[in-house]
Copies of this chain bind each other. A is one copy, B any other.
Amino acid sequence: MRVLLDVMGGDRPPEELVKGGVLMGRRTGTDIVFAGDSALIERALDGHRLKSEGQFSILPSSQVVHMDDSPVTAVREKKASSLVLGLEALKEKAVDAFVSPGNTGAIVAGSVFTLGRIPGIPRPGIMAALPTVPGEDLYVIDVGANSDSTPEQLLHFALMGATYARDVVGIPRPTLGLLSIGSEAGKGNKMIGKAFSLLESSTLPFVGNVEAHRVLVDRSVDVVVCDGFVGNIFLKSVEGGVSAVAQLLRRTIRGRVIAMLGALLMSGSIARVRGTMSYRRRGGAPLLGVDGVVVIAHGRSDAMAIGSALDVACHQVKANLLDRFSDGVAGWETDGG
């Protein structure tokens, strides 16, 4: 398997991202193609006593899509960027998957433009994995590929989420919930009301509405469906709540000797929870619904997070996920569609 890694558009320097690719490649035997400034990548590979040949190769690019670039303009005008050239390599099947920690909007726009959509799925969705109290990750789709969605699009997100949970994650009978502001049928806004009816009358394994304050604690479903605006607010609010508590606790402890000693004794447990909550272990959010395996890594990704995003891409390639979507909602069945 051959995975392309865009090392230019993330928040961290390309050297760090090359390191992530090299470590993951050595661990799994995956071929990695680094897209970016070839001199920088050569130098980084040299640091690992590697040459750009065989398992680790380079796709040279001369432009960079930055985090604050306008997505559509960037994709149209930066044809020599690692992002656009990388997606073209995927389109031409020179690689099996594309991974980037770059500008999310540009990755979505570039993927739709270059790879095209899967028949029957008019809009792609980004799926994120969230840690939960019971332990298994919770899958949420869409977390921001689109800012305005229709009830029909939510049905497609549900199809893609359930199929991913079954065929990539390996949950034989995954369940779906709709993110809303009350668990009863009919609670929520008009869009949710219509999406509820569509899901209820489909063959998809829909169990009803779920609420944000409960679902991370009880993990009552495997996949949460929402529109990209709400999903993005959900993700960021959870992150905000978690970091607010962490910072409040740190500030309260500071200067109190006994409390600081307590924190020291608890540090193993705190590190364990931080590991569970960390995006570094679930560094990749697949963009589902475009005709190719595209994984969006966190902008802040370090070598470890990049390794985990590359793993996500490989799992998806192995599962042959794209073929599974083409049966559409009607063809969905539990235990292999």
Residues on A lying within 8 angstroms of B by beta carbon are 68, 131-133, 144, 147-148, 179, 181, 184, 188-190, 192, 211-217, 228-230, 232-234, 236-249, 251-253, 256, 258-259, 261-270, 272-273, 276-277
Question: Bound complex: CA of A259 vs CA of B262, how far in Å?
Answer: 8
Q: A131-B244, A241-B241, A258-B265 are in contact. List 7 more A-B contacts (CB 8 A).
A: A189-B229, A192-B229, A212-B240, A213-B240, A237-B237, A238-B241, A259-B268
Residues of B within 8 A of A214 (CB): 240
What DSSP secondary structure best describes chain A's contact surface?
A: helix
Q: Which residues of B contact A232 (CB under 8 A)?
A: 181
Complex Cα–Cα for A256 and B267 (A): 12
Question: What are 17 A-B pairs with beta-carbon distances under 8 A?
Answer: A131-B248, A133-B244, A147-B181, A148-B190, A212-B240, A216-B240, A216-B241, A217-B244, A230-B230, A242-B242, A242-B245, A245-B277, A248-B273, A249-B273, A253-B266, A262-B262, A262-B267
Least CB separation from A229: chain B residue: B189
A214→B243 CA distance, assembly (Å): 9
A192 to B242, CA, bound (A): 26
Q: Which B residues lie within 8 Å of A68 (CB)? A: 184
Determine which of B192, B212, B237 lies in contact with A213 in the assembled complex, contact meaning CB atoms within 8 Å. B237
Give the chain B neighbours of A270 by CB distance below 8 A: 249
Min CB gap A235→B, angstroms: 8
Complex CA gap A231/B190 in Å reads: 16
Cross-chain contact B266 with A259 (CB below 8 angstroms): yes
User: Nearest chain-B residue to A234 (Cβ)?
Assistant: B237
* Cα distance A263–B264 in the bound complex, in angstroms: 10
Contact partners of A147 in chain B: CB under 8 A: 181, 188-190
- Docked complex Cα distance between A237 and B215 (Å): 9
Known contacts A147-B181, A243-B213; decide if A266 and B262 are in contact (CB<8 Å): yes
Closest B residue to A146 using CB positions: B189
Contacts of A211 in B (CB 8 A): 236
How close is A216's CB to chain B, nearest CB, in angstroms?
4
Chain B hits for A244, CB < 8 A: 131-133, 216-217, 238, 242, 277
Can you name the residue of chain B whose Cβ is closest to the Cβ of A252? B269
Given that A245-B277, A273-B249 are contacting pairs, would A215 and B188 also be in contact in the complex, using a CB cutoff of 8 Å?
A: no
Bound-state Cα–Cα, A176 to B147, Å? 22
Chain B residues within 8 Å of A248, by CB: 131, 133, 273, 276-277
